[in-house]
Amino acid sequence: MAGIDDVREIALALPGAVESVSGHTGEPAWRLKNGQFAWMRGPSATDARQLTELGRSWPAGPVLAVRVSGLEEKEALLAAEPEALLTIPHFDGYPGLLVRLDAVERDRLAEIIADAWLVRAPAKVAREWLAERGLD
């Protein structure tokens, strides 16, 4: 299973990525010049209340939020990996999802973070990065 050190190592290996502190939560976040692509996320009081109203609760263990390319991708990922990926009412209509770090293997986490980075990366940088890996 993965942890925050894995997130940090994976995210900071991506071109242009820097670590900052999220202004909302004080938690680590990874971003490019044009915005965050991954950030640690705990529940707000509103999250906890909304989840309780839905008969759900915040998962135990560390949770990473990531950007995805769109709502269709979000829904497909949530359906394919319900044990590791989830969403909350706060993310309704937003192209992002949550990753339970204690339920995802490091290799899969690296794919999720790279995909989130690709959403924010400049097109030329993304093309070069993909080409270097034979993924173009």
**Domain count for the chain:** 1
pTM of the model: 0.94
Q: Provide the domain limits for residue 61.
A: 4-127
Q: Is 17 within a domain?
A: yes
CA-derived radius of gyration, the chain: 15
The answer on pLDDT for 26 being more than 90 is no
Question: Does 134 fall in a domain?
Answer: no
What is the domain-level CATH number for residue 9? 3.90.1150.30
Q: What is the pLDDT of residues 52-85, one digit of tens each?
A: 999 999 999 999 999 999 999 999 999 999 999 9
Q: Identify whether 42 is part of a domain.
A: yes
pLDDT tops 70 at residue 24: no
Q: Confirm whether 133 is domain-assigned.
A: no
